[in-house]
Amino acid sequence: MPIKSEPVEVNIGPQHPSTHGVFRMVAMIDGERITDVKMIVGYLHRSMEKLAEERTYTQNIPFTDRMDYLAAMTSNLGYCLSVEKLAGIDVPERAQVLRVIFAELQRIASHCMATGAFINDCGAWQTPVMYTFRDREKVLDLFEMTCGARITTNYMRIGGVAFDVPDEFLPALDMLINDDLPFRFEEYDQLLVGNEIILMRARDVGVVSPEMAINASLSGPMLRSAGIAWDLRKADPYSGYDQYTFEIPVGYNGDSYDRMVIRIEEMKQSLRIIRQAVHILPGGPHKTEVPLAIRPPAGEAYSRVESPKGEVGFYVVSDGGAAPYRWHVRAPSLINLSVLKEMTVGQTIADAIVTLGSIDINVGEVDR
C-alpha cells in the first residue's frame, strides 16, 4: 500500500531561535525536505527612510546605527560619505584613517558575530558564539573607549569623526591587533575550518551560483563565496582604502562553508589593514568644521561602502533644505536574503537554518 503523504506548512519565525531576529519564513515541508519557502519581512520596520525626511542630515546619523546594529560604524560611514559627496565636504586625513580603523574593527566584530551565530545554527551548544563574542567584546571595548557606545556608536560625522581617539586607545588597539586577535583567529581556523561536522553540515548547503549571485545583485561574502572577486574597498575605493595592502578572499563553491571561511579570512585581512592604518595615522584635526544643519546644494548623491554584510549604499536627494528630500538605503541584508528560496528549496530544515545563518542577515537592516 503506498503511503500517502502531504506537505506540511511550517512557520519558522518570527519567534524562532535561529531567525536572527524577527525574520519569518513559511516553509512547505515534505518529510524533512523543503519544497517551498515564502519569506515574510517587515516585523521590524521602523520607517526610517521616511522619518529621515523630517530630520537634518546630522540627525539622521543615529538612524544608520539602528539599521545594521551589528555594524553601526560602516553604516555611519556610508551615510556620511554620501552627504559629503553631496555637499562637497573634504574630510581631513586623520579622520579618513580613523574611519578605516573603526570600519575594519567593526568588520571584525560583525564577522565574529556572524561566524559564532552560524556555528550556533549548525547546532553547537552556544560554545562558538561565546568564543567569538569574547573577541567581539574586546573590539566593542575600544568603541566604548572612543565614543562611549558599544553597539549604536554614532561615531562618524559629516566631515570626519565625532571624537578623536583617547590617549589609551592606541596602546589598547595595538595589544588587540597584535596579541589577542591573531591568536584567536588561528584558533577559529583550527576549531572551525577543518571541523568535520561543520564540513558535513555546511559543504554544498545553500549554494549560490555566480550567475545567480550577479543577477540577484548579491554583495559581500555571499558574492565572494560564489567565486566573484568583488569588494568595494578594491573596486571603488573610498576613505583612502587604495593605500592599504590587503587581499580579497574569494571562494569556489558558493556554499555556506565558503562563506564562513571567507569571513574568517576577512577578519585576518582587516587586521592587516588596521596595522597599516595605525602605522600611517597622521596628526591634525579629526573633523572638518561643518554647520550643524548642513544645507547641501540641490542634487543627489549615492555612495556605497563595503559593510561586513555587503554593499551598503546611501542615496540622498537634496532640495537645498536642511533635511534630505529623499533618502534611500541599499541594504545588503535584504538583497542577500532575496535568494533564500533558491538556496533552500530541496534541502532539509536543518540546511535551511544553516543557510540562513550563513547569509548573515540583520533584521534591523532588512526592514529598516
Partner 1 sequence: MTPRPLTLITDNWYDIRDLSNLSGKIEELIRDANGPHWAVWVVSALLGAIGIVAFIGGVAIINIWIERRVVGRMQSRLGPNRLGPFGLLQPLADAIKLMQKEVLQPKAADGLVFSIAPIAFTVPGIVIMAVLPWGRNMSLARLDVGILFILAMSSLGALAVFTGGYGSNNKYALFGAMRVIAMLVTYEIPSVLALLGLVLFSGTMDLADMVLFQEKFWIPLVLVQPLPFLIYFISSSAELNRTPADLAEAESEIAGGYHVEYSGMKFGLFYAAELINAVAISAIIATVFLGGWWFYKLDELVPGWMIFIGKIYAVYFLFVWTRGTLPRFRIDQLLAFAWKWMTPMAFANIIVVAAEVLIWDETGASAGLVLPLYIAFNMLFAGVLIVAWVRFMGPRFSRFPDRLRYFDRIDVPSLPAMRAPAPAAAAPKSGSGAPARSASEGGGDLRGGRLVGGPRP
Interface residues with partner 1 (CB under 8 A) are 8, 10-11, 16-18, 32, 119-127, 130-131, 134, 193, 195-201, 203, 210-211, 214, 227-231, 234-236, 245-253, 258, 261-262, 265, 348-351, 353
> Which residue lies nearer to partner 1 by CB, 67 or 274?
274
What is the longest distance spanned by two Cα atoms in the chain?
82
> Which residue lies nearer to partner 1 by CB, 278 or 350?
350
**Residues facing 24 on adjacent strands:** 40
Rounded Cα distance, 50 and 302, in Å:
17
Helix/strand/coil for 105: helix
- What are 131's three cell numbers? 568564543
> Which residue lies nearer to partner 1 by CB, 68 or 258?
258
> Which residue lies nearer to partner 1 by CB, 152 or 253?
253
Question: Shortest approach of partner 1 to residue 117 CB, angstroms?
Answer: 10
Whether the ω angle into residue 237 lies within 30 degrees of 0, i.e. cis, is: no
State residue 288 phi and psi, 5-degree precision. Answer: -80, 140
Question: Shortest approach of partner 1 to residue 249 CB, angstroms?
Answer: 5
> Which residue lies nearer to partner 1 by CB, 24 or 286?
24
Question: Shortest approach of partner 1 to residue 143 CB, angstroms?
Answer: 21
> Which residue lies nearer to partner 1 by CB, 32 or 141?
32
> Which residue lies nearer to partner 1 by CB, 54 or 126?
126
Q: Taking a C-beta distance cutoff of 8 angstroms, is the pair 263, 221 a contact?
A: yes
Question: Shortest approach of partner 1 to residue 308 CB, angstroms?
Answer: 17
> Which residue lies nearer to partner 1 by CB, 17 or 284?
17
Q: Which amino acid is at 348?
A: T
> Which residue lies nearer to partner 1 by CB, 29 or 95?
29
Rounded Cα distance, 236 and 231, in Å:
8
Question: Shortest approach of partner 1 to residue 19 CB, angstroms?
Answer: 10
Query: How many Cα atoms sit within 13 Å of 139 on the Cβ side?
Result: 31
Question: Shortest approach of partner 1 to residue 204 CB, angstroms?
Answer: 9
Taking alpha carbons only, the member of 364, 361, 367 closest to residue 18 is 361
Q: Which amino acid is at 139?
A: V
C-alpha separations of 115 from 135, 235, 244, 326 in Å: 12, 25, 25, 35
Question: Shortest approach of partner 1 to residue 264 CB, angstroms?
Answer: 10
Rounded Cα distance, 210 and 120, in Å:
27
> Which residue lies nearer to partner 1 by CB, 172 or 350?
350
- What are 9's three cell numbers? 506548512
Question: Shortest approach of partner 1 to residue 159 CB, angstroms?
Answer: 28
Question: Shortest approach of partner 1 to residue 279 CB, angstroms?
Answer: 18
* Total length of the chain: 368
**Residues facing 306 on adjacent strands:** 311
- Cα first-last separation, the chain: 52
Q: Which residues, at least 6 apart from 235, have a Cβ–Cβ distance to it below 8 Å? A: none
State residue 184 phi and psi, 5-degree precision. Answer: -65, -40
Question: Shortest approach of partner 1 to residue 199 CB, angstroms?
Answer: 5
Rounded Cα distance, 202 and 256, in Å:
5
